[in-house]
A and B are shown apart, each in its own frame.
Chain A
Amino acid sequence: MSWDEKLIKQAKKIVKLYPQKRSALGPLLHLAQSKDGYISDDSVSVISELVGITEVQVKSVSTFYSMYKQEPTGKYLLSVCKSISCEINNSNSIIDIVKDFTGLNNNETDEEGLFTFEAVECIGACGGAPAIQVNYETVEGLSTENTLNLCEWLKNETPDLVVADELQNQFGGTKSFDWAIADNSGTTGSVPGFQTLNTTKDKK
């Protein structure tokens, strides 16, 4: 097994939560993703043993959901919404700017491992369209200028942690909800959590 003891212990704890072992598959895949930033074949083998199903069955689930990454992402995962509300509000040009800046096509990661770009379906921020997520931290009401600023800031400052509120203040526009993730590990977090307006005030 390629997982260390601590992680295995954590995984076994998750498995115990469910009456059927295989129900733990989703959370365990999140755990695997928090370890490597993506679901490695090694992790798939470990999980298949933990939940008692075959490796290809695990692989089948992990490839079905696009937020389980099959390859390592860059330090910053830029997910630009391409669904209807954002598209009406000019998300196409946001996408173009991000593409131009990073030089990446959809689902590509640059060589330095800094950026991964993806155009995604609705991220639930229609009220503040167009929107982008940086490591699943949402920024709403983007303008084309601010998008470029955001990208440049990320490239120059390379902050270890991005926080939705801070990004929103710096680069965002109209805001629909108070987005935040309870645990700040971003794309590598075990659960991308969303909380409704004004519930994240104590967040650092």
Chain B
Amino acid sequence: MSDNVKINVNGLQIESEPNKLLIEACEDSGIHIPRFCWHKRLDPVGMCRMCLVEVDTPRGKMLVPSCTTEVSDEMVVDTESEIVKKAQEGVLEFLLINHPLDCPICDKAGECPLQDQTMAYGPGESRFVEEKRHFEKPIPISEIILLDRERCILCARCTRFSDEISGDPLIEFIQRGNKTEVNTFPNEPFKSYFSGNTVQICPVGALTSTSYRFKARPWDLKSTRSTCNGCSMGCSIELNSSQNKMLRILGVDNEHTNQGWLCDRGRYNFEYLNSDQRIKAPLKKTESDREETTLQDVYGDLSKIIEDRSNKITFLLGSNLTNEEFTSFNEFSNQLGNNDNSIYLNEDLLFKGFFDENIENAKIEDLNKSDAIIIWAEDLKETLPILYLRVRQAVKNGVKLVVFGHTNSTLADISDVYYSGETVSNNFEIVKDISKLKEIKEHIKDKNVTAILGKASPSQSDKSIEKLFTYLKDNSNLRLLNAFNGGNSFGAFQTLGSVKGNREFSSEISKETTDLLFVVGADPVGKSIFSSNIKNIINEIPTVVALDLFMHETSELADYIVPTSSTLGEKEGTFTNIEFRTSRIDKLIPSPGQALSDWEFISGLSNFCKFEGMSESLTDLNNKSFDSFDLDTKPTFDNLDKPRNLDGIINTSIPKIITTDESIEFSDTFFVGKKLYGDKVTERHSKSISLLGSSQFIEGNETTFEKFKLNSGKCILVQENIEITVSCKINPSLPDGLIFFPKNRRNINKLDFSKNIQILPSHSMEVLNVN
């Protein structure tokens, strides 16, 4: 490590790492330099000139932009001199020449860097009397983002973000000089999974999102810090509400996980909380219909079944619950005298994972520190979007990337090695001898390697990942991230002790083994690839209780439906992410109607059944969840609420996952996977993103489509009485003869993938316009 340098800022001695940017060094020492274009997570450009400071140079004092100047030893800097003040006034005066003063109707007003800095550093009076530049007021640049070019101050934060960070530069500067504007290419909208971040980092109100526009003033917002439970990245978020309605989610800069970024689904999938379709009171199935009932009645009816000890009770839990709730179900299941194996997790792609004392579990930041990254998992961009950004960041820093096909084709462009059809077969087996693959050996042999391994497709056998894992473990210094992507699945693995998935549920459960089934926050009938099987099972089980937010294909089949709170902003708890970092989930708004947290329901039910020894409060459950962990600082509420632990606490407890070894019979011609946007019930009820996951398509390469004679760009999928017209998207990274089905898209999720699907060319000459 090289020595720190000492610099003098405004007469104060400060220390900084060498090669740090002056603006950052000052920021770290508590000296704020105003800025618009500079952002900690983006490369500096020095475009706005707001961060000019006076630096002593051999040629005398000079104004330099502190965002592009690196600190050097004995540097003397003045950030508040008369000249600096004059420069700042000048820059602001220039910026305000064309910036409309429509703050009273601007969504940014109140949290606007331009407004704030004009107050703090501006000239105070305007000399500008001419006409300002005019553009058409907000133009939509995508379904969820609007752009007001008049307000834009051309800081290039949004364009740099989309180029450097998310890698989909669909917005750019057009024209130059006085005519410069940010825009998209005609008919090529800013369709990025990460576009919401540009709204958050925009220093003026130029970029706004449809979901928050004109909804509230920032000073009226209530806010709290929480954790996103959309996938297992556990991004830190800030929830904003006004008048008990959730209005906005912002990314919080957590160095270890999301570094301030969020995917658009995480950011905008909250409007369902305010939906009037939420279930508000418990419902009970009658002969013809459903009727409202009371919680007491539900408890009464259920306790009768529970008290008969000969009845067997099974749980199917969604992975979006908090750790405390998983613990609560575990306690309850133990009270029933069940063995460990009565709890199933609503996940299709569970495999044993690579967890034991000898395997070093990677941290997300290890990606940056390793020599190479090996990926073989479900499509990271679609299922763990922020992990995808972290991989991109690592590659940008020079880390080598080796990707095994066929799911992560979006990473093919930036990878050093991409193993496609010749190496990886269509049912996801490595067909060559791994030890003879030159390319991978060169990157991993005796080096620090971080691997992201998971099941790429349900058709992949556990053995094929194990083969790669064993090879990596024997040949490199391996650290590993197990790629399970469903919400709090890592929390479930740890708190439930042992976990099984949908595959096991559909093969083990029947009316012989279960008399009462709890389906909690899960829609396997609508979403699982085992849906038809699970539907039959649920239909034949005598009593089914659904705890959920909405009516959907699974809750509709239930005999009792209990409304529950959403993990997003309606309950407290903890969340454990992919690197076993546990962080806080916080409550901001009340639940609608009689909705209650799942643990409250279980607690009430066990009181009714007079169970003893159950945890009585959330704090008890929280303590119990982490009781057995061998840690100095356990992730309890007390500890997590301490300022130094806001980013979460890493733990090392090793989970256990039980899977059946039998592999699923899958055709070699297709594989299924999730897209970021889908047809989930919460997405359907979030207005601004509800249409983003509406297109139905299949993917394949040109040869494959020719083989099926699908040259028209449209085809019909036929299975028994289902007939779906979908478009054919060409994905050149897929091997010959393999077709991808996005299983979370409407109608496509109705297909039973264990049976034969016919793909026919579309007869209709009329080509529908589907975006």
Which residues of A approach B to under 8 Å, CB–CB?
A: 41, 44, 53-57, 59-60, 63-64
Contacts and interface: CB of A to CB of B under 8 A. Distances in A.
A57 B172 contact: yes
A44 B172 CA distance: 14
Interface of B: 168-176, 183-186, 188
Contact of B176 (A56, A57, A63): A63
B175 A54 contact: no
A55 B185 contact: yes
A54 B169 contact: yes
A56 to B, nearest CB: 4
Given A60-B173, A63-B175, A54 B186 contact: no
The prevalent SS among residues of A at the interface is: helix
Contacts of A63: 174-176
A153 B148 CA distance: 47
B175 A56 contact: no
5 contacts: A54-B169, A54-B172, A55-B185, A56-B174, A59-B172
A64 B184 CA distance: 15
A53 B188 CA distance: 13
Contacts, number: 35
B643 to A, nearest CB: 42
Contacts of B172: 54, 56-57, 59-60
Contacts of A60: 172-174
A94 B291 CA distance: 87
Contact of B168 (A41, A44, A54, A64): A54
Top 7 A-B pairs, shortest CB-CB distance: A60-B172, A56-B185, A55-B185, A56-B172, A64-B176, A63-B175, A63-B174
B185 A53 contact: no
Contacts of B175: 63-64
Contacts of B185: 41, 44, 54-56, 59
Contacts of A54: 168-170, 172, 185, 188
B247 to A, nearest CB: 31
A57 B186 contact: no
Given A63-B175, A64-B176, A56 B183 contact: yes
Contacts of A55: 185, 188
B241 to A, nearest CB: 36
A56 B169 CA distance: 8
Contacts of B170: 54, 56
A187 B183 CA distance: 28
B728 to A, nearest CB: 20
A53 B176 contact: no
Contacts of B173: 60, 64
A57 B174 contact: no
B142 to A, nearest CB: 13
A62 B575 CA distance: 49
A7 to B, nearest CB: 21
A49 B448 CA distance: 36
B162 to A, nearest CB: 9
B169 A59 contact: no
Nearest to B174: A63
Contacts of B184: 56
Most chain B beta-carbon neighbours within 10 Å: one of A55, A56, A64: A56
A44 B176 CA distance: 18
B186 A41 contact: yes
A53 B174 contact: no
Nearest to A58: B185
A2 to B, nearest CB: 15
A44 B187 CA distance: 13
A65 to B, nearest CB: 8
A55 B186 CA distance: 9
B637 to A, nearest CB: 46
A75 to B, nearest CB: 26
Nearest to B188: A55
